[in-house]
Amino acid sequence: MNYKWNKLAVHKEPPQILRTKLQLPIKTLMSPGPTNCSKRVLQSLQNQILGHLHPEFCMLMDEIKEGLQYIFQTNNRLTLALSASGHGGMEACLTNLLEPGETVLIVKSGIWSERAACMANRLGANVKLLETDYTKGITLKELEIALEQHRPVVVFMVHAESSTGVKQPLEDFGVLIHKYNALLIVDVVASLCGEPFFMDSWDIDAAYAGSQKAIGASPGLAPISFSPRAEKKLFERKTKPSSFYWDLTILGNYWKCFGNEDRVYHHTMSATLLYGLREALAEIAEEGLQALWNRHAAAAVRLRKGLELRGLQSYVKIPQYQLSTVISVQLPPGVVDKVVIQRAMEKYKVEISRGLGPTVGKFLRIGLLRVNATPEKVDLVLRGLDEGLKYASESKL
Amino acid sequence: MNYKWNKLAVHKEPPQILRTKLQLPIKTLMSPGPTNCSKRVLQSLQNQILGHLHPEFCMLMDEIKEGLQYIFQTNNRLTLALSASGHGGMEACLTNLLEPGETVLIVKSGIWSERAACMANRLGANVKLLETDYTKGITLKELEIALEQHRPVVVFMVHAESSTGVKQPLEDFGVLIHKYNALLIVDVVASLCGEPFFMDSWDIDAAYAGSQKAIGASPGLAPISFSPRAEKKLFERKTKPSSFYWDLTILGNYWKCFGNEDRVYHHTMSATLLYGLREALAEIAEEGLQALWNRHAAAAVRLRKGLELRGLQSYVKIPQYQLSTVISVQLPPGVVDKVVIQRAMEKYKVEISRGLGPTVGKFLRIGLLRVNATPEKVDLVLRGLDEGLKYASESKL
């Protein structure tokens, strides 16, 4: 054929870099996420693509919605998975629940609350921070003082601060915040399925997670749930959310959350990622949420004991604030984090993470998430840590 | 272990719906997208997860960036894949390139430009529409009149309007738009890799696609590229973009687009989706872009001939505006689209789509995308169409 565009024939050649065969290592991911996927989840990913409104696809969405309601422990009808990373969940909560000029109170517990403040500022909200010392959660009293002072319409808290390993207790916070007519958004990215979480019993209005942590699916989806109270705010907004992509009134229609007969197209979801999330949720349904929480707790106990035996300090000292999913370990004086991490990876193909935010440079972070929250994986990461620390001490000499 | 939270033991039981085994049909997707993935792409998806800053992961990002520069036919350094559907690409372009109060001129060619108008309105832009009759592209003269009248800072055009099957010629539009000091955003979701497209030669400032169309990867990623001119606008904004998730100044750092030494964490990309996109791009590099365009064009010629033989009319009459990737076919009088579509699916497991926007109810839409742009698949969809039309005519009696 003689194409009209031949005068503009391809001028850029295919890159050589793509001529190689895809070859990927298999690692044990003991960072705060992503974690490894189970064989069942990985196998599901290779299923052929389906259209985003096919009956089988819609059935998967229904199954996933029920699975998400189960892991959030909620009856919220507005429960779905966003086509985005956990950060998308954060932005979706703030974008849907804040109008320009409204006040949001952010409990500054580490890097994720800083990110939330950055997002809320961009949305034109009036951002107030409640500072913490990073090593523990805040109390109801501390929050109440800030509520009195700032009278926010939204409070943002992180359940599992993965930059430090702090768990923020949440019981009774929802009730208090509602007394002040505010809504409570909680980041459960690093806790959902790994720590007890009760969206309904704890009166939480909006929560979001990431598919790649204790849920155990591929990265790329952000489960999210809104309470009836949050839904009300959503539908009574004076302005439309600045984003169509995050607009939960339209996404809720696609996920058939509002009792609507037909699904309304919003965007093309990834069939691949839905397959994996469906299988991860099916595994959780089989194991049972309580058993899964207990497995994470037991792995954390084993890891903490191992660290104690080695004389290694945790960033979070007070037990009630210690997460089971992410544990920050202090580096011995003079030991460089990167050296330890590289050695553990070389020797055992096991991933340990650097510190982040408040823990950067002085701590390592170990994640115990889903398939890796087992005694065997705890022992492996301890071997990796031993090897890394030994190597780092020797290389100092 | 005796957990403090036992008073709040799991109160919601695992859903029965997740107790079933995942069983999915295999279909030939001849809609305007998503399309089927090749075996090589599907196999790559089951590789174990890697961390979003691991060296092997960063290498994949580099390979993908070069692959995307190849398919966009550009040397733009700010070229990457967003963790989102094609809609995310649309919103990212508008969010990054428009400040509140600025004027955007949107060429209203179908449903996607309406969506863009909806997004731009939410961003507080001053939205001006250039109406078209939907059956053909606009001319340079028409655009110039609108540029004179509205003096926009951004012009938004759709290259391949998948709701109609219209191809908008783009040559010389960039030059004209630059004379008026505006930037040109082009939606190439349904054209990239299926129709000739030259980002640099055509002076286009921002373009975005979807991974699941003629690129042939899983849905869930949105390739995007910004010209140096667009980059300049980005860095000279008076206000920050309302979204952190779409902010290309930060995403560009994660993708190492600005000559930065280290990658800066922005969000957790999906390893799974990157594997698939990498393999899809490697296949394109092997086949060659020109060969791929020609294959789509040849498939479209074959399909159009088949439709003509059957006396079926196309929505787009003028050849220069006809897409190779999406073809809208008029339904014979009285024939109900859903009946045809269902019958083709039942009998041949082949997907044909309903009309959308200007074509809804009166036309069917057939997609020829990537692995399905072959004579065999064209013949299959024609058989499905024959069967569906026959069945629909008989059921009318």
Tens of pLDDT, residue by residue over A6-65, are 566 788 899 999 999 999 999 999 999 999 999 999 999 999 999 999 999 999 999 999
Distance from CA of A42 to the nearest CA of B (A): 5
Q: Tokens 């959780």, residue?
A: A284
Distance from CA of B18 to the nearest CA of A (A): 5
pLDDT in tens, A270-283: 999 999 999 999 99
What ranges do the domains of chain B cover?
28-35+288-395, 39-285
* B39-285 maps to CATH 3.30.360.10: no
B6 lies within 8 A of chain A by CB: no
Pairing of strands B222-226, B78-82: antiparallel
Interface mutation target, options B96, B202, B245, B342, chain A, most CBs of A under 10 Å: B245
Binding residues of A: 365
Contacts of A65 in chain B (CB under 8 A): none
* ipTM > 0.95 (yes/no): yes
Contacts of B14 in chain A (CB under 8 A): 70, 284-286, 288-289
**Residue A80 backbone dihedrals phi, psi, to 5 degrees:** -160, 180
DSSP per position, B126-175? EEEEEE--SSSPPPHHHHHHHHHHH--SEEEEESEETTTTEE---TTHHH
A81 lies within 8 A of chain B by CB: no
Cα B325 from Cα B322, distance rounded (Å): 9
Q: Write down the pLDDT at residue A395.
A: 83
Q: Tell if the CB–CB gap between A45 and B50 is shorter than 8 Å.
A: no
Q: Are A92 and A81 in contact (CB under 8 A)?
A: no
Q: Tell if the CB–CB gap between A49 and B281 is shorter than 8 Å.
A: no
The three-state secondary structure class of B362 is coil
Contacts of A15 in chain B (CB under 8 A): 63, 66-67, 69-70, 285
Q: Tell if the CB–CB gap between A284 and B122 is shorter than 8 Å.
A: no
Q: Write down the pLDDT at residue A81.
A: 98
Asked whether residue A1 carries a pLDDT value surpassing 90, the answer given is: no
Q: Are A85 and A219 in contact (CB under 8 A)?
A: yes
- Using CB atoms and an 8 Å cut-off, which of residues 105-124 of chain B contact chain A? 115, 118-119, 121-124
pLDDT in tens, A198-237: 999 999 999 999 999 999 999 999 999 999 999 999 999 9
For B11, the closest of A63, A73, A88 (CB atoms) is A73
Asked whether residue A98 carries a pLDDT value surpassing 60, the answer given is: yes
- Residue A268 has which token pair? 């093309």
pLDDT band at A260 (very low <50, low <70, confident <90, very high): confident
Q: Tell if the CB–CB gap between A268 and B210 is shorter than 8 Å.
A: yes
A53 lies within 8 A of chain B by CB: no
- Residue A368 has which token pair? 């115990």
Pairing of strands B154-158, B78-82: unpaired
Q: Write down the pLDDT at residue A165.
A: 98
- Using CB atoms and an 8 Å cut-off, which of residues 9-38 of chain B contact chain A? 9-15, 17-19, 22, 24-27, 29, 31, 33-37
Beta bridge partners of B292: none
Q: Tell if the CB–CB gap between A242 and B244 is shorter than 8 Å.
A: no
pLDDT in tens, A130-168: 999 999 999 999 999 999 999 999 999 999 999 999 999
Q: Write down the pLDDT at residue B242.
A: 98
pTM, two decimal places: 0.97
- Using CB atoms and an 8 Å cut-off, which of residues 237-266 of chain B contact chain A? 240-245, 266
A371 lies within 8 A of chain B by CB: no
Distance from CA of B243 to the nearest CA of A (A): 6
B197 lies within 8 A of chain A by CB: no
Residues of chain B with pLDDT under 50: 1-2
CA–CA distances in Å: residue B116 to residues A242, A332, B86, B206: 13, 54, 12, 14
Interface mutation target, options A12, A75, A324, A354, chain B, most CBs of B under 10 Å: A12
Cα B293 from Cα B368, distance rounded (Å): 11
A357 lies within 8 A of chain B by CB: no
Residue in chain B closest to A351 (alpha carbons) equals: B51
| Start-to-end C-alpha separation, chain A | 71
Distance from CA of A44 to the nearest CA of B (A): 8
Q: Tell if the CB–CB gap between B17 and A62 is shorter than 8 Å.
A: yes
Binding residues of A for substrate: 365
Cis peptide before A34 (omega within 30 of 0): yes
Whether A28-35+288-395 shares its CATH topology with A39-285 is answered no
For B8, the closest of A75, A196, A279 (CB atoms) is A196
Q: Tell if the CB–CB gap between A271 and B218 is shorter than 8 Å.
A: yes
A314 lies within 8 A of chain B by CB: no
Q: What is the 3-state secondary structure (H, E, C) of chain A?
A: CCCHHHHHCCCCCCCHHHHCCCCCCCCEECCCCCCCCCHHHHHHCCCCCCCCCCHHHHHHHHHHHHHHHHHHCCCCCEEEEECCCHHHHHHHHHHHHCCCCCEEEEEECCHHHHHHHHHHHHCCCEEEEEECCCCCCCCHHHHHHHHHHHCCCEEEEECEECCCCEECCCCCHHHHHHHCCCEEEEECCCCECCECCCCCCCCCCEEECCCCCCCCCCCCCEEEEECHHHHHHHHCCCCCCCCCCCCHHHHHHHCCCCCCCCCCCCCCCCHHHHHHHHHHHHHHHHHCHHHHHHHHHHHHHHHHHHHHHCCCCECCCCHHHECCCEEEEECCCCCCHHHHHHHHHHHHCEECEECCHHHCCCEEEEECCHHHCCHHHHHHHHHHHHHHHHHHHHHHC
B2 lies within 8 A of chain A by CB: no
Distance from the Cα of residue B354 to its chain's centroid: 18
For B245, the closest of A52, A91, A272 (CB atoms) is A91
Q: Write down the pLDDT at residue A2.
A: 43
Interface mutation target, options A24, A54, A73, A337, chain B, most CBs of B under 10 Å: A24
* CATH superfamily label, B28-35+288-395: Aspartate Aminotransferase, domain 1 (3.90.1150.10)
- Using CB atoms and an 8 Å cut-off, which of residues 155-184 of chain B contact chain A? 171
- Residue B344 has which token pair? 């083709």
pLDDT in tens, A312-370: 999 999 999 999 999 999 999 999 999 999 999 999 999 999 999 999 999 999 999 99
Cis peptide before B34 (omega within 30 of 0): yes
- Using CB atoms and an 8 Å cut-off, which of residues 316-335 of chain B contact chain A? 320
Contacts 24+ apart (CB under 8 A), B1-6: B1/A294, B1/A297, B1/A298, B1/A301, B3/A196, B3/A293, B3/A294, B3/A297, B4/A320, B5/A196
Q: Are B201 and A6 in contact (CB under 8 A)?
A: no
Distance from CA of A10 to the nearest CA of B (A): 6
Q: Write down the pLDDT at residue B2.
A: 44
Contacts of A341 in chain B (CB under 8 A): none
